[in-house]
């Protein structure tokens, strides 16, 4: 009887194996293109209206330069190489601060996540530090480290530290306890438990933490550069403000937005690559 049942069930398998490819490719290229175009409609409309208002002379150029003015300013800055020098120093600062802060945040999050003892010792103090606004510690950092790079990088590191710390901690504590039973039955070593169970399970939270930390680092960079510096995109903007070059201020804003978005997209790309196993609602 067992034999006959098995053959009777066979068509079911075939059906499953046919079904699988359709599960794997969900969104077509056309769909994603459509969605992208939909996202561009509003900005384009806004730019058009903006340009028309500026060209007709309703608003003074020092208050609101037109999009074409901004594009020209951007072109000039690119051609003179000024933009590149400022951008380079800004990106280096943000990167250094981010690596320092996020690296420590990740390490602290893992340490606190794994042990309630470490949590008891570290977490209360860290939570207290977390609530201090960046602007409040900025004067202190300047007093201690001067106007040089150290105070800027430390300020950025401070902001990048907390989002990844909190999320890593949370991610580790949210590992399904039932999977720990499986790990015990399969006789996982401590290392395998971390590598196969805890880190993959916490990865969505860790990646979210990285995204938030990147955003925080970028925000802190602006604060640090406006605080007082002689190079960087923030300095370029402050300098332009003094000469009422509003178009350059706009270029700075756009650069901050673009680089911020670019790094965010990079992490999201990482997310889709690393979290393809996730079975969650993607929105419709």
| Chain residues in the site for another protein (CB under 8 A) | 1-2, 5-6, 9, 12-13, 16-17, 20, 23-24, 178-179, 181-182, 184-189, 192, 196-197, 200-201, 203, 276-279
**253: exposed, middle or buried (C-beta count within 10 Å: 0-12, 13-18, 19+)?**
middle
Least Cβ distance, residue 271 to another protein (angstroms): 13
Alpha carbon 210 to its chain's center: 6
Nearer to another protein, 72 or 196 (CB): 196
Least Cβ distance, residue 246 to another protein (angstroms): 50
Of 262, 230, 207, 220, nearest in space to 98 by CA: 220
Least Cβ distance, residue 203 to another protein (angstroms): 8
Least Cβ distance, residue 176 to another protein (angstroms): 8
DSSP string, 72-133: HHHHHHHHHTHHHHHHHHHHHHHHHHHHHHHHHHHHHHHHHHH-HHHHHHHHHHHHHHHTS-
Tokens of 227: 């605080």
Nearer to another protein, 20 or 36 (CB): 20
Count of C-beta atoms within a 10 Å radius of residue 204: 17
Least Cβ distance, residue 182 to another protein (angstroms): 5
Nearer to another protein, 36 or 284 (CB): 284
């Amino acid at each position: 009887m067992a034999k006959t049942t098995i053959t009777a069930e066979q068509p079911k398998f075939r059906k499953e194996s046919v079904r699988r490819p359709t599960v794997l490719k969900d969104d077509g290229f056309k769909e994603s293109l459509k969605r992208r175009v939909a996202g561009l409609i509003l900005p384009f409309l806004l730019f058009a209206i903006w340009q028309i208002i500026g060209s007709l002379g309703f608003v003074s150029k020092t208050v609101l330069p037109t999009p074409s003015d901004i594009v020209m300013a951007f072109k000039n800055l690119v051609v003179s190489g000024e933009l590149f020098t400022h951008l380079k120093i800004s990106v280096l600062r943000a990167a250094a601060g981010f690596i320092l802060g996020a690296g420590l945040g990740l390490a602290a999050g893992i340490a606190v996540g794994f042990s309630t003892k470490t949590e008891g010792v570290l977490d209360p103090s860290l939570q207290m530090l977390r609530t201090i606004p960046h602007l409040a510690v900025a004067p202190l950092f300047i007093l201690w480290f001067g106007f040089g790079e150290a105070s800027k990088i430390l300020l950025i590191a401070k902001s990048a530290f907390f989002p990844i710390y909190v999320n890593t901690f949370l991610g580790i504590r949210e590992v399904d306890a039932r999977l720990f039973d499986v790990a015990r039955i399969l006789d996982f070593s401590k290392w395998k438990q971390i590598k196969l169970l805890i880190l993959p399970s916490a990865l969505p939270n860790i990646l979210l933490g990285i995204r938030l930390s990147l955003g925080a680092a970028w925000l802190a960079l602006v604060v640090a550069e406006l605080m007082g510096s002689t190079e960087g995109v923030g300095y370029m903007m402050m300098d332009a403000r003094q000469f009422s070059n509003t178009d350059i201020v706009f270029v700075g804003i756009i650069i901050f937005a673009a680089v911020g978005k670019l790094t965010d997209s990079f992490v999201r790309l990482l997310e889709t690559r690393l979290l393809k196993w996730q079975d969650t609602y993607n929105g419709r």
